[in-house]
Amino acid sequence: MSPRFVDKAPFDPYDREVLTPEQERFYTASQWQLMWWRFKRHKLAVASGIILLIFYLSTLITEFIAPYDLHTRNAQFIHTPPQRVHLFHEGQFVGPFVYGFAYRLDMATLKREYTVDPNKIQRLRFFCRGDPYRFWGRFPADLHLVCPAEGGTLFLAGTDRLGRDLFSRILHGARVSLTVGLIGISVSFVLGIILGGISGYYGGWIDNVIQRLIEVIRSFPMIPLWMSLSAAMPVTWDPLWVFFGITLILGLVDWTGLARAVRSKILALREEDFAQAARLMGARPSRIIGRHLVPSFMSHLIASATLSIPGMILGETALSFLGLGVRAPITSWGVLLNDAQNVNVVALYPWLMLPVVPVVIVVLAFNFLGDGLRDAADPYS
Amino acid sequence: MLRYIVRRILVMIPTLVAISIITFVIIQLPPGDFLSAQLDELRAQGEGLQSDKIQYLRELYGLDRPMWQQYLYWAWGLLHGDLGYSFEYDRPVTEVIGDRIFLTFIISFATILFTWIIAFPIGVYSATHKYSWGDHGLTFLGFLGLATPNFLLALVLLYLSNVWFGTSIGGLVDPEYLDQPMSWGKFLSVLEHLWVPVVVIGTSGTAGMIRRLRANLLDELQKPYVVTARAKGLPPGRALVKYPLRMALNPFIADIGNLLPEFISGSALVAVVLSLPTTGPILVRALQTQDMYLAGSFLMLESFLVVIGVLISDLLLAWLDPRIRFGGATTR
């Protein structure tokens, strides 16, 4: 029998592994803190987040950034190509300016031809007075970030068939296109949590009914269903109402994916001790679901919600493109793309397709952001 | 297996009933109906001639009866292959739809094949060359395909195929073959036109497929049996193909159910731009003129296609994967 070793020194309950300050910080960090740290490592997602933030913030001051108003028509400039901003003229620094147009009507084809006239130098003005507008539809103002020279033009993305500046219209369209996704996702978020929560928590026949309903809704091809529902909106509705109707429809069709995610999580979590404890203490189901279960996988929900916003933005674009979505005078990127509906446009006025650029950027950014959020959503893995 | 098939088909029935109810509700949603609009128009023009016919149609389709009777009437017709009457085309819906549904199916099927062919090598490459430049680049390309609105891509490709190959614009065949019976030349011409919609619709699904295949394969490649196989000196190619790849193939089958609705809705849009003789353009037109029986039939038939597609993919999965077959649970 080997002699047992007993340490003579008194037991010190405070003696333990000493943590470095970084470790200390890491171990005591809250869950959201950990997520943030992990999210920051995902460079692409952070960049996407910043881009989206810029896009959304810009919608707050659209009228100020846009050189023209949404409806300003320049009757002499129909279907002009985009103007490029130059800094140097014949090696001489002039500051930001654009070259003016020389206009000629081709009598053989009756096509308006705008050519760049290097003699017309039109210097841009900054913080200047331009088209009057009502800021947020309320306060009259006419201050713009950038305006064309006096008597000159500034069409950074060309003009459409009524001579309206496309660049300004894209900026204005961002308001509708970007909010569609947010409102739509809120609708589907609420529906998804409520129905998914009920389905997962109660189980049994309620679960069965909701699951079958989800199955049925998913069996409909998305865009035809959207089209049918939006065609069902009365023609007499105000465009603003149509806009809200569209977002509602987008949300009503989209919630099924979220509901499934919520249900599977709740199925796994409802047997956990903390849920059991809450139940024993007499909490009502709505409290258990809303206060205890849902917050424990909220981060996952936010991530998957982010990933379904792009689908809605593309959906709105598609609907408006077909003329079944948002209607003028409310303008979205889809409404703008409506002008680019046939091959002639590609051949003659390719710049009319420019509104697709912000669509692609925003959709990509939401996808990458969602990817980053999903990776960060579970910081303990 | 037989039990599984029978049960799976029985489950389908209530789904189809529910789909038909929702479709019917959508048909009824717009205020008024096509007939009353037309009747008003005729009255305004002072014509009484056709109002008899309209009255007849009204009775035939029970438009003045209560809602639930109308539904039963409509559903009964569906069961017998009578899809209702297209008021705008003034013909039964079945005649209007004709082979358009068939073409929709062909295009969807071709698109699924295309997605597989593109996604398979890229997914495998991305998984085996994780985080390489190739992986990042291809993934980005996939995302770009996802983010570009299909209809615009369709326009641009249409233009390019016209400029480069001289393909006629719009439609699915060259104009000279339009009313001719099927022949080798017509077939080639169809193929020539088919690639644009297939590529365009396919781009939206490819990204998702690549990412799923990549994720699955990565999971599989980290498993101990792969390490063992490598340690024992199995050539890398064989160690990849023999088991991990086969395990990672499930999404290809399982995704038919997800891809089909996506492709059908994608084709609806693209078809409008390309003026393909599929269901898309007619559906849009029908919705705009509130020719609701026509629209409803499309919605119903397309959902039916999807349900069938899911059924096929479930059966294939069960055939491939004994865990599903004997577990008895449906996957969707």
For residue B145, give the chain A residue with the closest CA.
A360
Distance from the B45 Cα atom to the nearest Cα atom in chain A, whole angstroms: 23
Q: Do residues A299 and A377 lie in contact, with contact meaning Cβ atoms separated by under 8 Å?
A: yes
pLDDT band at A224, cuts 50/70/90?
A: confident
Cα A338 from chain centroid (whole Å): 20
Question: Mutate which of A210, A219, A226 to test chain B, going by most B C-beta atoms within 10 A?
Answer: A219
Q: Do residues A231 and A266 lie in contact, with contact meaning Cβ atoms separated by under 8 Å?
A: no
Looking at the partner chain, which of B159, B288, B310 has a beta carbon nearest the beta carbon of A343? B159
Chain B residues whose beta carbon lies within 8 Å of the beta carbon of residue A224: 264-265, 268, 283, 298-299, 302
Chain A residues whose beta carbon lies within 8 Å of the beta carbon of residue B290: 231
Q: What is the ipTM of this complex?
A: 0.75
Does the pLDDT at position B327 exceed 60? no
Which pLDDT value is given to residue A51?
93
Distance from the A340 Cα atom to the nearest Cα atom in chain B, whole angstroms: 8
Distance from the A91 Cα atom to the nearest Cα atom in chain B, whole angstroms: 37
Distance from the A234 Cα atom to the nearest Cα atom in chain B, whole angstroms: 7
Question: Mutate which of B269, B272, B289, B312 to test chain A, going by most A C-beta atoms within 10 A?
Answer: B269
Looking at the partner chain, which of A215, A220, A231 has a beta carbon nearest the beta carbon of B288? A231
Intra-chain end-to-end CA distance of chain A, in Å = 45
Distance from the B59 Cα atom to the nearest Cα atom in chain A, whole angstroms: 24
The whole-angstrom separation of Cα B259 and Cα B313 is 11
The whole-angstrom separation of Cα B135 and Cα B127 is 8
Which pLDDT value is given to residue B49?
55
Model confidence pLDDT, tens digit, residues A311-342: 888 888 888 888 777 877 788 888 888 888 77
Contact B272 A322 (CB under 8 A): yes
A151-159: average pLDDT? 81
DSSP-assigned states of every residue in A319-374: HHHHTSSS-TTS--HHHHHGGG-SHHHHHH-GGGGTTHHHHHHHHHHHHHHHHHHH
DSSP-assigned states of every residue in A96-109: EEEEEEEEEEETTT
Chain A residues with a Cβ under 8 Å from any Cβ in chain B: 212-213, 215-225, 227-229, 231-232, 234, 310, 314, 317-318, 321-324, 337, 340-343, 345-347, 353, 356, 359-360, 363-364, 367-368
The whole-angstrom separation of Cα A187 and Cα A191 is 6
Looking at the partner chain, which of B15, B147, B310 has a beta carbon nearest the beta carbon of A363? B147
The size of the A-B interface in CB pairs under 8 A is 129
B181/A25: higher pLDDT:
A25
B14 upstream amide cis, omega within 30 of 0: no
Which of A211, A232, A248, A233 has the alpha carbon at shortest distance from B23? A232
C-beta pairs of B189-197 under 8 Å, 24+ apart in sequence: B192/B165, B192/B167, B193/B167, B193/B168, B194/B107, B194/B110, B195/B161, B196/B154, B196/B157, B196/B158, B196/B161, B196/B274, B197/B107, B197/B111, B197/B154, B197/B267, B197/B270, B197/B271, B197/B274, B197/B276
Model confidence pLDDT, tens digit, residues B309-322: 778 877 887 777 77
What CATH homologous superfamily does A169-376 map to? MetI-like (1.10.3720.10)
A235-243: average pLDDT? 79
Cα A106 from chain centroid (whole Å): 43
Model confidence pLDDT, tens digit, residues B95-151: 777 667 777 777 888 888 888 888 888 888 888 887 788 888 887 888 888 788 878
Contact B29 A229 (CB under 8 A): yes
Q: Do residues B281 and B271 lie in contact, with contact meaning Cβ atoms separated by under 8 Å?
A: yes
Q: Is the dihedral of CA A172, A174, A177, A180 positive or negative?
A: negative
The strand pair at B85-86 and B91-92 is best described as antiparallel
The per-residue pLDDT of chain A, averaged, comes to: 83
Q: Do residues B98 and B185 lie in contact, with contact meaning Cβ atoms separated by under 8 Å?
A: no
Contact B152 A340 (CB under 8 A): yes
Which pLDDT value is given to residue A346?
78
What residue spans define the domains of chain A?
83-154, 169-376
Does the pLDDT at position B284 exceed 90? no
Helix axis angle, A298-322 relative to A239-269, nearest 10°?
A: 150
Q: Do residues A379 and A38 lie in contact, with contact meaning Cβ atoms separated by under 8 Å?
A: yes
pTM of the model: 0.81
Q: Looking at chain A, list the stretches that DSSP marks H as alpha helix, in order from N- to C-terminal side.
A: 21-28, 31-41, 43-60, 62-65, 166-202, 204-219, 222-231, 239-269, 273-280, 285-287, 298-322, 333-337, 343-348, 356-376
Model confidence pLDDT, tens digit, residues A185-197: 999 989 999 998 8
pLDDT band at B37, cuts 50/70/90?
A: low
Model confidence pLDDT, tens digit, residues B177-223: 666 666 677 777 777 777 778 888 888 778 778 878 888 888 888 88
Contact A314 B288 (CB under 8 A): no
